[in-house]
Amino acid sequence: MSEELPFSDEVEGIAQALGEGLAVARGPVVLALSGPLGAGKTTFTKTLLHAIGGLEPAQVQSPTFLKLLEYQIVGLGLCCHMDCYRMESPDEVEKLSLETYTEAFLWIVEWPELFLEYLNKKPELIRVMGLEKILFVEIDGAHQVKARWWKLKTA
């Protein structure tokens, strides 16, 4: 079941508003960023991490080649930033040992399809990580944004 959120605006403005909400959220959140190459997924992430933790854009890199980057957000904790673009199967997601990141309050996942496929096969991991919902954010080539919440199944 999904709920469409009523915004379609500039990527930076959306990320700023979302960041302000995440700064007071309780429990871990998965932010799944979808869109074509160059749509603004990493720009969105840089703006979001600036809004919630004061990180400068230069401090936030694209995890395309490293696959997983960690950021400590003052007052909130660990943020994990993943990019599954170069992954070929859910087995590559498993190699990242996500279960060791149970203290993460925020997961930002670019190209989330393999990550979600992996979670679908590992409901116990969803429980261990304390995940309940995923916010899907779709960014198109014209920087229009749509977002919707999905509830995760743990059984």
Q: pLDDT, tens digit, for every residue of 29-64?
A: 888 888 888 877 888 888 888 888 788 878 888 887
Query: How many Å apart are CA 28 and CA 42, to the nearest integer?
Result: 20
Query: How many Å apart are CA 70 and CA 81, to the nearest integer?
Result: 6
pLDDT of 4 above 50: no
Query: Where in 6-141 does DSSP place strands (E)?
Result: 29-34, 68-73, 77-83, 104-110, 133-139
Which pLDDT score, from 0 to 100, does residue 3 have? Answer: 37
Contact between residue 72 and residue 80 where contact means Cβ atoms under 8 Å apart: no
Report the topology of domain 2-151: Rossmann fold (3.40.50)
Confidence of residue 5 (pLDDT cuts 50, 70, 90): very low
Lowest mean pLDDT among 70-74, 100-104, 112-116, 151-155: 151-155
Which pLDDT score, from 0 to 100, does residue 81 have? Answer: 93
Share above pLDDT 90 across residues of the chain, in percent, rounded to a whole number = 6
Contact between residue 151 and residue 30 where contact means Cβ atoms under 8 Å apart: no
Which carries the bigger pLDDT value, residue 119 or residue 109?
109
C-alpha dihedral, 113 to 119 to 122 to 127, nearest 10°: 180
Pairing of strands 133-139, 145-151: antiparallel
Q: What is the pTM of this model?
A: 0.79
Lowest mean pLDDT among 3-17, 38-52, 67-81, 93-107: 3-17
Query: How many Å apart are CA 97 and CA 19, to the nearest integer?
Result: 26
The predicted model gives 9-18 an average pLDDT of 64
Q: Which residue has the tokens 């079941």?
A: 1
pLDDT of 132 above 80: no
Task: Output the furthest CA–CA distance in the chain (Å, rounded).
Answer: 40
